[in-house]
Amino acid sequence: MSESKKMAGGMTRANGAILIAAVLLLAGAIGYAIWRDSAPGSDGAAAQPTAAPSDQLAALEARTRSEPNSADAWMQLGAARFDLGNFGGAATAYEKAVGLSPESAGLWSALGEARVMASQSDPMPPAALQAFDKAIALDPRDPRARYFRAVKKDVGGDHKGAIADWFALLEDTPQGAPWEADLRRTIEQVGAIHKIEVAGRLAKTQARPLTPNEIPVAARAIPGPSRSDMEAASQLPKGQQDAMIQGMVDGLETKLKANPADVDRWIMLMRSRMTLGETAKAAQALKDGIAANPGAAGRLKAQAQMLGVPGA
């Protein structure tokens, strides 16, 4: 949220290094600390080839034609378009989704974000604010909508009001949530720009404790990667980093095909997809995880909401 335009960014070199270091830590293991910027390990099996983004997009568009009354189909198309930077197209798809599932706060806030990103001039177009208001009416705790409503205050000149709202969001943010650091950075940046003292309050403000459903997947007696492991991973050329990361995720999906009842791995897959910026695939992982484990739907949804998975 450091740029006031999105809840979470895509893959960075630092994230890539940490994800690769996870291979050294978790090769063949079950579970990891979900709130670290890491990804699940693979057992060294060769990665399965994946479809090109254009092929994946075409498949999602075909699905909306065959299932025009499926909110899930339109939501995944919206997420895929968003991932590819087609924010106007994402907004159009999300509009279809909320029309079919108007009680989903997550869909409304995703629509609002797409409308913000699609705007060429107004940093907070009225249509985006309307979507965020809808989300808040359905779920007053929706973090994306709360964040952007505070952005509206900031761009409107109420910088202290925006900072107060961001602090309130920070207090309601689960400990270690992916957007916590960016939220703190936003508060710092806006405070510095407008000469509002925030350092003392930031030092005292802590994210809230996790609820039972939010408790992360715990690493099971597995030591963390060493500093030398991390440094070695960070020195890999970007192409090798990307290939290694994709191999990890593909290996995880292979394990889930063999054992779809492993709820922890579904959470890992969602986390990995969101870290890679593949929000549509994260949404599909949520759907597939719930289908395979209906009794764990509450936990899967709680984890997905904290990760920012669209529609969660």
Over residues 130-172, the pLDDT tens digits come to 999 999 999 998 989 999 999 999 999 999 999 999 999 999 9
Q: How far apart are CA 97 and CA 107, in angstroms?
A: 7
Q: How far apart are CA 149 and CA 226, in angstroms?
A: 41
The type of residue at 256 is: L
Residues 6+ apart with CB under 8 A from 9: 182, 277
Q: How far apart are CA 133 and CA 140, in angstroms?
A: 9
* pLDDT more than 90, % of the chain: 42
Residues 6+ apart with CB under 8 A from 219: 26, 29, 31, 32, 33
Who has greater pLDDT, 247 or 223?
247
The burial of 88, by beta-carbon neighbours within 10 Å (0-12 exposed, 13-18 middle, 19 or more buried), is given as: middle
Q: Tens digit of pLDDT for each residue in 224-233?
A: 444 454 455 5
Domain ranges of the chain: 13-226+244-307
Q: Tens digit of pLDDT for each residue in 56-103?
A: 889 999 999 999 999 889 998 998 899 889 999 999 999 999 999 999
Q: Tens digit of pLDDT for each residue in 184-204?
A: 999 999 999 999 999 999 999
What sign results for the dihedral spanned by CA atoms 61, 62, 68, 71?
Answer: negative
Segment (H or E) for 2: none
Kindly report the CA angle at 243 between 9 and 223, in degrees rounded to 5? 80
Task: Report the C-alpha dihedral over residues 293, 299, 303, 305, rounded to 10 degrees.
Answer: 100
- Contact yes or no for 50/250 (Cβ under 8 A): yes
Could you please state the CATH topology (level 3) that the domain comprising 13-226+244-307 is classified under. 1.25.40
pLDDT score recorded for residue 212: 66
Q: At what angle do helices 279-292 and 263-275 cross, to 10 degrees?
A: 170
- Contact yes or no for 132/149 (Cβ under 8 A): yes
> Is 0.85 surpassed by the pTM of this model?
no
Q: What is the DSSP letter of 50?
A: -
> If you average pLDDT over every residue of the chain, what do you get?
77
- Contact yes or no for 256/265 (Cβ under 8 A): yes
CA distances to 120, 197, 200, 241 from 247, in Å: 37, 45, 43, 10
Who has greater pLDDT, 79 or 44?
79
